[in-house]
Each structure stands twice: as structure tokens, then as C-alpha cells.
């Protein structure tokens, strides 16, 4: 079995289990629950098949939806993130992204943090717009995007550093 495929499968299962059984049980200030499963979408290899990437993004989102009873909002937000990730990669990495030699898991922490921040913002904005689905609660959507987004970025960077996903820069 290909080591990249094995790493992706282990990352998929590990982040999903971490999200469902640990992070969903943690609430800071009563409502802030970090969403770390989107690290799978952010760290997915650039040179792999685009269709399999979209399918994996949908599957991880729909599984989280099943556990959080959110009716497809996580799947839609994950799919949106998977669609806009090439734009973010080009914005953050420039020509390194175009040459397909990019390994996000081995990139410097500052570039990873920027990519993660952009990804978390778009994911959480789509997620909370779909969950609230009411224009009178725009401030609530922005508040949830900001606070849960900051906690997700914080936990994502900690996991990135803690598990040694960074290579020698």
C-alpha cells in the first residue's frame, strides 16, 4: 500500500475520531468547540486526484454532520473549502503550488498558519450561514465564525506542531 494513501487514511480516521469523541465534548465558554477535522482538507496532498479529494471532503463532512445532527452543513462547508483550496494555495504558496512539488505538511509554520486561517474562515462562514440560515442573525454568524475559528486555528497549529507534521525548513 502506498505510504501517502496510508497517511491519508490514518489522518482521516484520526482527525475524525478526535473531532467526534474529544473536540465535540469540549466547550470553552459554553459554546466554543474547535473544529479540527478540517485539517484533513487543508493537509490533503496537492498532487492527488481532485475527484477523490472532493469525495473525501464530502465524506468527512457528512460523518461529522451525522454525529452533530447539523443536516449537511459540515458536508457543504467542507466541500466549499475543497473547491476554494486551490485559490488559497496559489495565494499562500505562489509558484510553489503550480509546480506540484508542494507538501503542505512540510511547509513552514507561518505559511501553514496563513493557509489554515484562510481555510477556517471560509469553512466556518459557510458552516454558520447554513446552520443559522437567517439574515437577522448576521452578528451571531460572525461571532461564531470569529471565536470558533480562532479556537480551530489555535488547535490546528498546536496539532501541526505537536505531531511533527512540519519538515525541516
pLDDT of residue 123: 94
Q: pLDDT over 90 for what percent of the chain?
A: 28
pTM over 0.85: yes
Burial 91-116 (b: 16+ CB within 10 A, else e): ebbeebbeeeebebbebeeeebbbbb
pLDDT of 151 > 70? The answer is yes
Q: Where are the domains of the chain?
A: 3-162
pLDDT band at 33 (very low <50, low <70, confident <90, very high): confident
And the C-alpha cell for 81?
473549502
Q: Would you call 73 exposed, middle or buried from its count of C-beta atoms within 10 A (0-12, 13-18, 19+)?
A: buried
Query: What is the residue whose three cell numbers read 482521516?
Result: 12
pLDDT of 53 > 70? The answer is yes
Amino acid at each position: 500500500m502506498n505510504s501517502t494513501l496510508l497517511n491519508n487514511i490514518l489522518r482521516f480516521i484520526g482527525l475524525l475520531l478526535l473531532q467526534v469523541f474529544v473536540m465535540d465534548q469540549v466547550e470553552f465558554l459554553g459554546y466554543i468547540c474547535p473544529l479540527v477535522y478540517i485539517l484533513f482538507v487543508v493537509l490533503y496532498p496537492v498532487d492527488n486526484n481532485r475527484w477523490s479529494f472532493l469525495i473525501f471532503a464530502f465524506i468527512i463532512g457528512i460523518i461529522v454532520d451525522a454525529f452533530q445532527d447539523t443536516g449537511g452543513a459540515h458536508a457543504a462547508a467542507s466541500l466549499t473549502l475543497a473547491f476554494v483550496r486551490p485559490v488559497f494555495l496559489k495565494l499562500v504558496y505562489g509558484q510553489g503550488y503550480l509546480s506540484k512539488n508542494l507538501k503542505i505538511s512540510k511547509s513552514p509554520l507561518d505559511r501553514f498558519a496563513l493557509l489554515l486561517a484562510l481555510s477556517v474562515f471560509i469553512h466556518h462562514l459557510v458552516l454558520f450561514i447554513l446552520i443559522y440560515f437567517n439574515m437577522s442573525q448576521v452578528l451571531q454568524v460572525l461571532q461564531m465564525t470569529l471565536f470558533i475559528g480562532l479556537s480551530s486555528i489555535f488547535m490546528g497549529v498546536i496539532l501541526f506542531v505537536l505531531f511533527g507534521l512540519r519538515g525541516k525548513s
